[in-house]
């Protein structure tokens, strides 16, 4: 499980949902949760919060994607690739934060991914979870 620290920058409510803008490093991510400040007191402006997501929910792109629905994107450096028969574990670095992506080994080969390369990591809003 990836865990990145963030800070709540904006909130919008339409019960039972809460739409949040979270600052993670230099990026603003969009998250929708099935909670409100009444049901989850940690949902407050400027609160520090951890953003969690699975390694399998991370998509990688060599080029900055345009015209897609995924709203959460950051440029990361590939630190290490552990290539397996079907799946590869890609260790990524976002400034001082580490994260992992689990992608097919075929994708690693087709994208010609290698350590030291800068790529874009994308995560759908619905794949994110929050922890106070």
What pLDDT does residue 70 have?
Answer: 85
**Whole-angstrom distance, CA of residue 45 vs CA of residue 6:** 12
What pLDDT does residue 69 have?
Answer: 87
- Length of the chain (residues): 132
Q: Is the pLDDT of residue 37 over 90?
A: no
Percent of the chain with pLDDT over 70: 100
**Whole-angstrom distance, CA of residue 53 vs CA of residue 84:** 22
Q: Can you tell me whether residue 62 is helix, strand or coil?
A: coil
What pLDDT does residue 16 have?
Answer: 86
Q: Is the pLDDT of residue 119 over 90?
A: yes
82-106: pLDDT as tens digits: 998 999 999 999 999 999 999 999 9
């Amino acid at each position: 499980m990836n865990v990145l620290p963030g800070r709540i920058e904006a909130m919008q409510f339409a019960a039972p949902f809460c739409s949040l803008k979270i600052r993670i490093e230099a990026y603003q991510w969009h998250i929708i949760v099935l909670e409100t400040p009444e049901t989850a007191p940690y949902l407050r402006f400027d609160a520090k919060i951890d953003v969690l997501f699975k390694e399998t929910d991370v998509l990688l792109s060599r080029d900055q994607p345009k015209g897609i629905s995924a709203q959460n994107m950051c440029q990361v450096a590939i630190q290490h690739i552990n290539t397996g028969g079907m799946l590869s574990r890609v260790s990524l670095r976002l400034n001082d934060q580490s994260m992992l992506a689990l992608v097919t080994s075929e994708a690693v080969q087709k994208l010609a991914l290698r350590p030291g390369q800068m790529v874009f990591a994308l995560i759908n809003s619905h794949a994110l979870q929050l922890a106070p």
